[in-house]
Amino acid sequence: MTSSLTLRLIVGFLVVYFLVGAAIYGRTPADELYPFFSWSLFKDVPQRTMRINTLRITAVDGKELERPLLHTEAREFFDEERVDNANYLFHELAQALEMGDDAVAADMRRRIEQGLPPGTHYDLVEMDIGTIEFWKSREAVETRVLRSFTSD
């Protein structure tokens, strides 16, 4: 294929592409005709908030903390592997409590409390977080305590 033929094909394609786009503008919903004009990748805004279950430690060895710690901030109790696995445990505990499944809830509590000293008071909380704001300030939009526990 010669370069002049390639150039003609490219120019011809662009002219047809432009003409089809101009012909449908204002005639279709959202002015889109895939593959000529499609903004569907950009029209959906990502979720601004998300709901998570997490652990908030309020007292250790029976002594109140100055400021409650989320499990991600309590590295002395949750090593890196346990932090990743903890989100699953918190979610399962919240579901078990909601469904009234005491056996599963007791098992989840036992697994969560493995690294906690006896007498640690903690809350299972449901937090609505603004994803970017939470990353910057660690502040939740809304926090609800689902249940409070004390480790054995």
Q: What is the pLDDT of residues 95-105, one digit of tens each?
A: 999 999 999 99
How much is the mean pLDDT over the chain? 80
Reference 65, options 54, 76, 81, 51; nearest CA is 76
Q: Is the pTM of this model over 0.75?
A: no
Q: What is the pLDDT of residues 78-131, one digit of tens each?
A: 665 666 677 888 889 999 999 999 999 999 988 888 878 888 899 999 888 776
Whether residue 77 is predicted with pLDDT greater than 80 in this model: the reply is: no
* The 63-70 sheet, strands edge to edge: 63-70, 49-60, 121-130, 142-150
**pLDDT band, residue 9 (cuts 50/70/90):** very high
How high is the pLDDT of residue 143? 81
Whether residue 10 is predicted with pLDDT greater than 80 in this model: the reply is: yes
> Are the C-beta atoms of 36 and 15 separated by less than 8 Å?
no
Whether residue 42 is predicted with pLDDT greater than 60 in this model: the reply is: no
CA distance 32 to 120: 58
Q: What is the pLDDT of residues 136-145, one digit of tens each?
A: 776 777 788 9
Mean pLDDT of 26-52: 65
